[in-house]
Amino acid sequence: MVFVSAVLTLVAVALLVIAGATLWWQMHAWSSPRSFRSVGFEVPVRARYSFSLIVPCREETEPVMRATVQRLLAQDHPDLEVILSVGHDDAKPMTDGLSTVEIAQALARRWPTRVKVSINHDAVKNKPRQLNSTLLDCTKEIVGIIDAESLTQPGLLRHVDATFQGTDADVVQGAVHLMNYRDSWFSLRNCMEYRIWFRSRLHGHALSGFIPLGGNTVFMKRALLEEVGGWDGDCLAEDCEIGVRLSCLGKKIVVGYDSRLATQEETPERIPQLIKQRTRWALGFMQVLAKGEWKKLPTRSQRFHAWWTLVQQHAVAFSGIALPLAVLTGFLVDVPPLVVLITFLPLAPTLTMLGFEMLILREWSREMHLDVRPRDYLRLVLSLPFYQLLLAVAVLRAAWKYFTGDFAWEKTAHAGSHITPQLTLVGQQEKAA
Amino acid sequence: MSTVLEHIDVVEPDEARPAGPAHAAPRRGSERLRVGLALIVIGVAHSLNLAGWPRYFDDEGTYYSQAWSVLNMGSLAPYTYWYDHPPAGWLQMALFSWLPEALLADDVNSDLLAGRILMVAYTLVTALLLYVLAKRLGMARGWALAAMLLWALNPLVVYEGRQVFLDNIALPWLVGAFVLVLDRRRHLGHHMAGGLCFGVAVLSKETVLVFLPALLVALWQSAYRPTRPFAIMGFSAVVAISGSTYLLYALIRDELFPGPDHVSIWDALAFQLGGREGSGWLLDPDGPSDGAYDALSGWLHFDDGVLVVGGVAAALVTLAVRRLRPVGIAVLVVTLVALRPSGYLPQMYVVAVLPFCALALAGLLDVAWRWLMRARTAPVRVISAASMLAALAAATVPLADWRYDYATAWTADTNDVRSATAAYVEDDLPRDATIVVDNTLWNDLVDAGWATEDVVWFYKVDSDGAVMEQLGGDYLGIDYLVWSDNVARNAGPIVVEAYDHSELLRTAGEGDARIEVRRVLPLAEQARIQAVEDEAERQRLEAFLTAPSAEFTDLTNGQIEGIKVDQATLSVPELAAKYVTSQETILTILDE
């Protein structure tokens, strides 16, 4: 019994630290007036930079690709090119018997001066390899990555341009929002994750001196990319990996957020796709951790933050499994009341976060003019344990793959359910203007 | 290096601009000096004659013995813990009490002194936090210092603050919660820490829950508007979670709801909220003795109405001043709760609100001072400042009698009878005897070598099933009884029965300070004594009957009784013949 008590106490304290630290990071933006306000883009001025926007595509349908390209071309920026990055083997018929390559070529013919196609001929295909070969075809000063299934907001590029000018940044990370919050039981949770990440957490990471970059709506100076040799072609989290290397070089990474300018994406449609996506991220983070570039960060605090950021999602997955088990053991096994109380402690930050999440949902729905109802709040609460379980499964799966050396790229399919995008207020205003 | 974009408007509007470095440092230094000196004065005023005054009180012993029990018995109380109060107060005492215990010499008059030393420490922390809170409420340094001294040097605070009360333990947490909630940087972490402090305060003494509305108003006022819901949510979540640990503890022990053969939090709440004998209305002089009116009289006896009446009056006015409004609400909510017509109102109820009364008074003076200082010309300012200070000085004249209160506090030994009794018990009574005492003696006797179950708090004899079982169900399980005014007023039937079947061994003290040590008589001894008494009675009666009557010298008392009995069967001449006396005498006896 003493042994059980000791183990329970240790596990509970570990869980408390994990949950507490997660709460602390997630709440960064809302923690003080200063951090609440310091998350925006610079105010647009005269455009100065030119943009190459890479759209990595793999087995995409024509409507998805066309919508993405159209929205990019609609950007009110004078100097941009869109490069559709495809693989030479991507021959699967997607729309009207046309393959992704053929669709891309058709789009390039439609806008010959502004849309290009870059074909990757590597034997092994994945996103970083496609990006690397496409980088060679880029001609402009700044390279931006826009995922095929995402819809950019009007005005984004002007704000990014202004931010490069105003802050002397080397990298500008924009925000991505998932919008189809009612499509499945877990989609709302997924949407909230993105909102919290881009509205709050990422800014906290920026202050700590280490940012795991995202793979969408991220803009980097082309010269810098060429200098560091592009992306790591074997890494499943190439975006995070390049962020680590740039942080180590002391490059200035700026995070800009404005819900009206956030690129809109969709949540995975079904559970297997979500799990595949999360497995890929987790596996990628494990690769980045193992690669050890983060150890080159200059200060101890930065290295600690980097380490914590890379292991944090594994820790969260661990708590998703361990917390209910610990509480249950505490109740069923005959241990002293104090030990049972301690096993309940990690629930405190978890429940507090749940309370905050409801407020975050409220704030988000107001900013984006969404019609969030009481049942959505209910779903947010009820789905928490099951969503945690999914994340835990994904991380376990990733760990399995990691130890068996299976680093194949599992891509998630997109249905384009948000193809009628909910134009946000600024979007409409700027389009009208 | 990574960075985050910042808008230009990040300057905190209410963040005090830092004073110029040239004079900031010395100014802070002199502020520290003044606050430090004030704390020394408070510390001295509270610790002089700490063991002698006031008289050790039953409750002090209860809380102290519970802290002792946590450390030495691994349980929340020496008896069945029945959720009378949440345990955070004496858990803290258990955490800290080893320090004064280690410092104290062996010949102190009670173990409770260690607890009282802790109370002085808590009072000092509260005083310091009160100063910080006064500044957070926008008061000038001088008035903040005044608030601190007004509270800590009030004779009522000296009286209550010295005693080992849970309220004194809850106070720094309560005041600290206000300080954190009014954080200048308005950081969510501080607001949540404020919730945690308040949670600890409530778990130390549940009655401070009445300060929740005031705290929420303070939080509402101080929070940054766009993130206000987050501040409220964070604070409330932490408070709720802290509170629910108490319920969870009961749930784990299966003591949440009532059931046969076990205590429950439900029963305890029902008792505290409704089952307790009411104390009457606060302002009703005809209320029960030791009730609310008596409590109020006791407060006014020490305070002369400065904080208790003046603070409440000031609180009404502070409602009109935005920055002081939380203080006003705190005082008024506590007052309204005290003014409810029935219910239980203990004497220490006043402890938690006194700092806020002091804040309300000093806050109003601060407002008045600022108003006077707005005058255009220097002479007007000087004159108004002088008249305000003169008025304040005049207002303190009636308080000259406080010097007698201080003199008592610093010199009177009101515990001499108790310590002499303790010494007698320790010297003369066997260590294996079961002694029923009031809790002021519990720790000393356990320390002197009695087993914890052999020293029994009188209150538990009639209320704790386990103790009753241990004593065998009636008073005969008790060997000795230390009987004091407090025991006499609160004893249950078994203890009263023990008293009725006991002999006095020692008595000392007068009036309500009188303490008796009594031995409870075993049945055999009672029978022996009864037999001796019966024999004495028989002999007395026999002597009476054989003695000659005072009125009729030729007859014995026995013969006269015989005549009265025999008159039913014999005539007067026959009686005269039988008792060898005259018929006249017989007639006189029968006429009587």
pLDDT tens-place string over residues B401-446:
899 999 999 999 999 999 999 999 999 999 999 999 999 999 999 9
* pLDDT > 70: percent of chain A: 95
Q: Do B4 and A206 touch (CB under 8 A)?
A: yes
Q: Do A37 and B229 touch (CB under 8 A)?
A: no
pLDDT of residue B18: 43
Q: What is the mean pLDDT of residues A378-407?
A: 91
B489 or B279: whose pLDDT is higher?
B489
Question: Distance from A412 to chain B by nearest Cα, in Å?
Answer: 31
Q: Do B252 and A32 touch (CB under 8 A)?
A: no
Q: Look at residue B7 and tell me whether its pLDDT is greater than 70.
A: no
Residue type, A410: E
Question: Distance from B188 to chain A by nearest Cα, in Å?
Answer: 4
Residues of A with CB under 8 A from a CB of B: 24, 27, 30-34, 36-42, 163, 166-167, 203, 205-207, 209-211, 247, 250-256, 331, 337, 340-341, 344, 348, 351-352, 355-356, 359, 362
Q: Which residue of A has its CA nearest to B8?
A: A38
- Residue numbers in A near B250 (CB within 8 A): none
3-state SS string over B217-278? Answer: HHHHHHCCHHHHHHHHHHHHHHHHHHHHHHHHHHHHCCCCCCECCECCHHHHHHHHHHHCCC
Give the integer Cα–Cα distance in Å for B545 and B557: 5
Q: Where are the domains of chain B?
A: 53-402, 416-521, 544-591
Residue A6 CA: distances (Å) to CA of A1, A152, A315, A316, A335: 9, 52, 20, 22, 10
Q: Look at residue A427 and tell me whether its pLDDT is greater than 70.
A: no
Q: What is the mean pLDDT of residues A160-169?
A: 92
Q: What ipTM does this complex have? A: 0.91
Helix, strand, coil proportions of chain A in percent (round to 5)? 55, 10, 35
- Which stretch of A311-325, B163-177, B429-443, B538-552 has the lowest confidence by average pLDDT? A311-325
Please state, rounded to an integer, the average pLDDT across all residues of chain B: 90
Q: Look at residue A25 and tell me whether its pLDDT is greater than 50.
A: yes
Q: Do B226 and A36 touch (CB under 8 A)?
A: yes
pLDDT confidence tier of residue B23, bands split at 50, 70 and 90: low
- Residue numbers in A near B230 (CB within 8 A): 27, 30, 356, 359
Paired sense of beta strands A218-221 and A98-99, if any: unpaired
Q: Do B5 and A40 touch (CB under 8 A)?
A: yes
- B7 interfaces chain A, CB cutoff of 8 Å: yes
Domain A1-420, CATH class in plain words: alpha beta
Three-state SS at B13: coil
Give the integer Cα–Cα distance in Å for A201 and A236: 22
pLDDT of residue B531: 92
- In sequence order, what E strands does A149-285 have? 171-173, 176-178, 218-221, 253-255, 263-265
Q: How many CB atoms lie within 10 A of CB B547?
A: 11
The predicted-structure confidence for B31-60, as pLDDT tens digits, reads as follows 999 999 999 999 999 999 999 989 999 999
Q: Which of B1, B2, B256 to mutate to test the interface with A (most CBs of A within 10 A)?
A: B2
pLDDT of residue B550: 81
Q: Do A359 and B230 touch (CB under 8 A)?
A: yes
B98 or B431: whose pLDDT is higher?
B431
Q: Which of B1, B3, B4, B245 to mutate to test the interface with A (most CBs of A within 10 A)?
A: B4
* pLDDT > 70: percent of chain B: 95
Q: Look at residue B335 and tell me whether its pLDDT is greater than 90.
A: yes
Give the integer Cα–Cα distance in Å for A343 and A15: 9
pLDDT of residue B26: 64
Q: Do B233 and A355 touch (CB under 8 A)?
A: yes
Q: Do A209 and B2 touch (CB under 8 A)?
A: yes
- B1 interfaces chain A, CB cutoff of 8 Å: yes
Q: Look at residue B92 and tell me whether its pLDDT is greater than 90.
A: yes
Q: What is the mean pLDDT of residues A79-102?
A: 91
pLDDT of residue B378: 86
- Residue numbers in B near A356 (CB within 8 A): 230, 233-234
Q: Do B2 and A211 touch (CB under 8 A)?
A: yes
Supply angle C-alpha B4, B7, B8, rounded to 5.
Answer: 130
- Which stretch of A7-16, A293-302, A307-316, A358-367 has the lowest confidence by average pLDDT? A307-316
Q: How many CB atoms lie within 10 A of CB B572?
A: 14
3-state SS string over B348-390? Answer: HHHHHHHHHHHHHHHHHHHHHHHHHCCCCCHHHHHHHHHHHHH
pLDDT of residue A87: 92
Please state, rounded to an integer, the average pLDDT across all residues of chain A: 88
For residues B454 and B124, the answer to whether their CB atoms sit within 8 Å is no
The predicted-structure confidence for B241-275, as pLDDT tens digits, reads as follows 999 999 999 998 889 898 888 889 888 888 877 76
Go through chain B and tell me how many residues it has: 592
Q: Which residue of A has its CA nearest to B235?
A: A352
Which B residues in the span 216-245 are in contact with A, Cβ-Cβ below 8 Å?
A: 224, 226-227, 229-230, 233-234, 236-238, 241, 245
pLDDT confidence tier of residue A428, bands split at 50, 70 and 90: very low
Q: Where are the domains of chain A?
A: 1-420
Q: Do B187 and A163 touch (CB under 8 A)?
A: no
Three-state SS at A113: coil
The predicted-structure confidence for B556-575, as pLDDT tens digits, reads as follows 888 888 888 888 888 888 88
B289 or B233: whose pLDDT is higher?
B233
Q: Do A362 and B1 touch (CB under 8 A)?
A: no
CA A355 to mean position of chain CA atoms:
23
Q: Which of B5, B9, B233 to mutate to test the interface with A (most CBs of A within 10 A)?
A: B5
Maximum C-alpha span of chain B: 137
- B8 interfaces chain A, CB cutoff of 8 Å: no
Residue A310 CA: distances (Å) to CA of A296, B279, B362: 15, 62, 53
Q: Look at residue A7 and tell me whether its pLDDT is greater than 80.
A: yes
- B188 interfaces chain A, CB cutoff of 8 Å: yes
For residues B268 and B256, the answer to whether their CB atoms sit within 8 Å is no
Q: Do A209 and B186 touch (CB under 8 A)?
A: no
The predicted-structure confidence for B190-221, as pLDDT tens digits, reads as follows 999 999 999 999 999 999 999 999 999 999 99
* pLDDT > 90: percent of chain A: 58
Question: Distance from B189 to chain A by nearest Cα, in Å?
Answer: 7
pLDDT confidence tier of residue A408, bands split at 50, 70 and 90: confident
The predicted-structure confidence for B438-470, as pLDDT tens digits, reads as follows 999 999 999 999 999 999 999 999 888 889 888
